[in-house]
Amino acid sequence: QKEVEQNSGPLSVPEGAIASLNCTYSDRGSQSFFWYRQYSGKSPELIMFIYSNGDKEDGRFTAQLNKASQYVSLLIRDSQPSDSATYLCAVRSYNTDKLIFGTGTRLQVFP
């Protein structure tokens, strides 16, 4: 079992819709959870991080964490074609700097 699992997609949504990206992790000691966005041919960039169970909102983005289910998700409201990219889920365990990434979900937002 991979440490961080994501559906590779592509996930296709129409412009203006809500895109829902999901991630599961295997290490129950995980403490910090991250979402990175990577455009084709570019390097990953941080969108959001979350530590506590529940929701965290930042503009059109909402990260959701459920530690009991070992599940983290990213919602993108009012999706735009410019949101088309690969979204990488990453997890860090307690007392380490080691950041483990999933393989990413490719999102396509069509006009």
Partner 1 sequence: DAGVIQSPRHEVTEMGQEVTLRCKPISGHNSLFWYRQTMMRGLELLIYFNNNVPIDDSGMPEDRFSAKMPNASFSTLKIQPSEPRDSAVYFCASSNRGQEKLFFGSGTQLSVL
Which residues contact partner 1 (rule: CB under 8 A)? 32, 34, 42-46, 49, 88, 96-104
**Shortest Cβ distance from residue 59 to partner 1 (Å)?**
17
C-alpha distance from residue 29 to each of 3, 36, 87 (Å)? 12, 21, 23
**Shortest Cβ distance from residue 18 to partner 1 (Å)?**
25
Closest to partner 1 by CB, 82 vs 95, is: 95
Closest to partner 1 by CB, 4 vs 13, is: 4
